[in-house]
Amino acid sequence: MSTDPVVKTIHVALSPQAAFDLFTKRIGDWWPVETFSVSAGQGKPSQSVTLAGGIGSEIVEIAADGSRHVWGTVRDWAPGKSFVTTWHPGREASFATKLLVAFASEGDGTRVTLTHSNWDVLGEEAVSSREGYDGGWVVVLGQFEAAV
Amino acid sequence: MAYQSAFSALADPTRRAVFEHLANAPSSVTALADKLPVSRPAVSQHLKVLSDAGLITVRSKGTRRIYAASPDKLAELRAWLDTMWDQALSAFAAQAEKDSAQ
């Protein structure tokens, strides 16, 4: 039902490590910034989207107008296996959702599985400073203002 | 930008709490103000924004107005999120394809 996490999975012909590196440190090589970015919501694709990698690193967008937007902060980092990041593009960090991406060897490639859910699913791990509001499933909804 | 007002409406945490409550059960303004740490005037204001964004519906029950979340809009927003991840992963897969061809 509509309150469940979004789960997506694909197979790519890369090793788990290569798939992991492409997804994370090379996010700028593939993220569709012309349709999904804070900048796209302003009518132009971003200049860049980067992620340095490692716990505490941020996914950062530099919009067409030069403004800087943090989409999320890495909470867990297991190169070649999985990573977890908060996800709040275009919004404050205190109302973040959770993004988990896992990479598993499959055949001669990798099965990539993405799970986008509400932090409440983790209970105690919920992001702090929610001002008493529990979040609920609605927080799972995407925040970009897509250029549709 | 079809969903801009809906996403903007839901960006406010208190308003999201009101909407979340309505998604669970239709309510009147009084019932919402009783259940949430929000005053009646504030609830009314939030309901107006949610209504303008097409996220809630209202019907009259005697002298009361009962608000409820709009299932169609919820489904649309959910579908948008779903589409976003489909497109992002397609783009990822396309680049992975190029990488693997080298």
pLDDT digits (tens, 9 = 90+) for A2-46: 456 889 999 999 999 999 999 999 999 999 999 899 898 888 999
The pair of three-digit structure tokens given for residue B30, joined into one six-digit string: 């009084």
- Out of A8, A18, A132, whose CB is closest to B85? A8
| Rounded distance between C-alpha atoms, residue B56 and residue B72, angstroms | 10
CB contact under 8 A, A31 and B13: no
| Rounded distance between C-alpha atoms, residue B67 and residue B3, angstroms | 21
Q: Using one digit for the tens of pLDDT, what is the confidence trace for A89-114?
A: 877 776 677 899 999 999 999 999 99
Q: Which of B92, B98, B102 to mutate to test the interface with A (most CBs of A within 10 A)?
A: B92
* pLDDT for the residue B79: 86
What does the mean pLDDT of chain B come to? 88
* pLDDT for the residue A120: 52
CB contact under 8 A, B96 and A19: yes
CB contact under 8 A, B7 and A143: yes
* pLDDT for the residue B99: 96
Q: Using one digit for the tens of pLDDT, what is the confidence trace for A49-65?
A: 999 999 999 999 999 99
Q: Is the model more confident about B12 or about A140?
A: B12
CB contact under 8 A, A14 and B96: yes
Give percent of chain A with pLDDT exceeding 90.
Answer: 60
Q: Is the pLDDT of residue A140 over 50?
A: no
**Shortest CA distance to A36 belongs to which of B53, B92, B85, B6?**
B85
A113 beta partners:
A9, A102
A11 beta partners:
A111
With an 8 Å Cβ cutoff, is A115 touching chain B? no
Q: Which of A22, A25, A30 to mutate to test the interface with B (most CBs of B within 10 A)?
A: A30
Instruction: Write down the pTM of the prediction.
Output: 0.75
Contacts of B53 in chain A (CB under 8 A): none
With an 8 Å Cβ cutoff, is A66 touching chain B? no
With an 8 Å Cβ cutoff, is A36 touching chain B? yes
With an 8 Å Cβ cutoff, is B17 touching chain A? yes
Q: Crossing angle, helix B71-101 and helix B4-11, to 10 degrees? A: 100
Burial code (b: 16+ CB inside 10 Å, e: under 16) for A39-57 equals bbbeeebbbebbbeeeeeb
* pLDDT for the residue A85: 95
**Shortest CA distance to A102 belongs to which of A36, A29, A30, A23?**
A23
Q: Is the pLDDT of residue B17 over 80?
A: yes
DSSP A70-101: EEEEEEEEETTTEEEEEE-TTS-GGG-EEEEE
CB contact under 8 A, A23 and B92: yes
Q: Is the pLDDT of residue B65 over 80?
A: yes
Q: Using one digit for the tens of pLDDT, what is the confidence trace for B21-51?
A: 898 899 999 999 999 999 999 999 999 999 9
| Rounded distance between C-alpha atoms, residue A126 and residue A96, angstroms | 9
* pLDDT for the residue A123: 38
**Largest separation between any pair of C-alpha atoms in chain B:** 71
